[in-house]
Amino acid sequence: MTNDNLQILTIETTCDETAAAVVNDRLEVLGAVVASQDKLHERFQGVVPEIAARAHVERILPVIDETLRRAGCTLQELDAIAVANMPGLAGSLLVGLVAAKTLCLALNKPLVAVNHLYAHIYACKIASGREIFPCVGLIVSGGHSSIYHCMNAFEFRQLGGTIDDAAGEAFDKVASMLGLPYPGGPAISRVAQSGDPQAFRFPRAFLRDDERLDFSFSGLKTAVRYQIAGPGRPDFRAVELAPQTIADLAASFQEAVCDCLVGKTMLAAHKTGLRTVCVGGGVAANGRLRARLQDEAQRAGLELLIAPLALCTDNAVMGAIAIERLRAGLVENLDLDVFPGMVRL
C-alpha cells in the first residue's frame, strides 16, 4: 500500500494495559487511550494473567470508542487495524486480536500484526521524528530484557538477553521484599533517591564477560534477600528494616541493575560498530538508568535515543510501527494467531 495520508487504529493488550491509538503516516498521534490495571494486581504484587485478560474484555471496546472520539474520526475513515500479537500473556493477546479481527471483518479493512518488542524501539523514532535504523536496541520491561541489532523496522537480530528474570520483574520482587508498593520500579526509584548506591556490593552477573551480551538478575535478587535476613532465616519479611536501610538497599540494587544494562548495551555498540542506541520499555522510565545511559553514550560518542516517559510503559502509540508494514504490503489473513513467546514477524 503506497497511498499517502494513511491513518490506522492500533490496539495493545499484551499484558495489563488496555490501549488504543489512532496514528497517521506522519507518525502524528490523533488520539490515544491507556487503561491501566495496576490497582487490580497491586494486592498480588504482580500481574495475574486471568485477571488481566478479564479486565481487557471489559475495557477494550470503551477504550477503542474513546480513542476514536479523541481522534475525531470514524471506523470507516481508518485505512487499517493493527494489533500486537506477540509476545505477551496469551489470554491478554487474544482479547486484542479478536477485537482487531472483528473490526477488520466488519469494515473490510486490512489487518496488520505488531511485534510488541519491536514497537518499543520504534517509540524512539516516533519521539525523535527521524530515522533510527540501523541501531542497537535495548528493551527493558517487566517481562523482557534484551539487546538487539535492529536493521530496520522488520528485522531485529537478538544479541543477548536475560537468562532468568527480566529487570522489571526483579524490581517488582525486590520491592516486595523491602515492603514497597507495586509496581516496584517506580517505588524503588523513588526510595533510592535518598539511599547510598555503594552501601551494599551486590553481584553484577556477566558484567566482566566481554564475550556475551546476556543478563541474569536472579542472583542479584537472592543477594538482596540474604542481605535483609541472611540465608538461615526463611521468613525475611519478619525483619524490620530502618527507612535508611531500605533506601540504601534500593539504591544499591538499582545501581547493580543499571551497571549490567548500561555495560552490556555499550558492549553491544562496540561489538556491532553501530553508533546509534535506542532504548524502550517500562524500565527505561527509570531516572537513574536514563542518566547512566546518557553519560556512557556521551563518553563513547554514541547517539542515544530513549523513549519518552509516556511511551516507555505499554501503549498503543508505538504500534505506529504498523505503518511501515502496511506500506510494505505486509498485511495478515484473519487466521492470524497470537504468539505469547518471541517469534519474528
Going from the C-alpha of 220 to that of each of 38, 223, 234, the distances in angstroms are 25, 5, 17
Q: Distance (Å, rounded) from C-alpha 270 to C-alpha 149? A: 12
Residue 284, classed as helix, strand or coil, is helix
Residue 320's pLDDT is what?
Answer: 98
Residue 230's pLDDT is what?
Answer: 76
Going from the C-alpha of 27 to that of each of 6, 57, 134, 311, 326, the distances in angstroms are 10, 28, 19, 13, 13
132-311 under CATH 3.30.420.40, yes or no: yes
The string of DSSP codes covering 29-98 is EEEEEEEE-HHHHGGGTS--HHHHHHHHHHHHHHHHHHHHHHHT--GGG-SEEEEEEESS-HHHHHHHHH
Residue 239's pLDDT is what?
Answer: 76
Residue 208's pLDDT is what?
Answer: 94
Q: Where along the chain do its domains lie?
A: 7-120+313-327, 132-311
- CA atoms 43, 339, 342, 120: torsion sign: negative
- Exposure class string for 38-55: b at 16+ Cβ within 10 A, else e: eeebeeeeebbeeebbbb
Residue 342's pLDDT is what?
Answer: 64
What are the residues whose beta carbons fall under 8 Å from the beta carbon of 221, sequence distance 6 or more? 165, 170, 173, 174
- Strands, E assignment, the chain: 7-12, 17-24, 29-36, 80-86, 111-115, 135-140, 145-150, 156-161, 276-280, 303-306
- CATH class of the structural domain 7-120+313-327: alpha beta
Residue 229's pLDDT is what?
Answer: 84
Residue 127's pLDDT is what?
Answer: 96
Distance linking the first and last C-alpha atoms of the chain? 18
What are the residues whose beta carbons fall under 8 Å from the beta carbon of 145, sequence distance 6 or more? 139, 161, 162, 166, 167, 168, 215, 217, 261, 283
What are the residues whose beta carbons fall under 8 Å from the beta carbon of 211, sequence distance 6 or more? none
Residue 240's pLDDT is what?
Answer: 86
Asked, colleague to colleague, whether 7-120+313-327 and 132-311 share their fold, the answer is yes
Residue 235's pLDDT is what?
Answer: 67
How do the pLDDT tens digits run along the chain, 345 residues long? 445 689 999 999 999 999 999 999 999 999 999 999 999 999 898 899 999 999 999 999 999 999 999 999 999 999 999 999 999 999 999 999 999 999 999 999 999 999 999 999 999 999 999 999 999 999 999 889 999 999 999 999 999 999 999 999 999 999 999 999 999 999 999 999 999 999 999 999 999 999 999 999 999 999 999 999 877 666 666 578 999 999 999 999 999 999 999 999 999 999 999 999 999 999 999 999 999 999 999 999 999 999 999 999 999 999 999 999 999 999 999 999 999 986 555
Residue 40's pLDDT is what?
Answer: 93
Pairing of strands 135-140, 145-150: antiparallel
Cis peptide bond upstream of 197, omega within 30: no
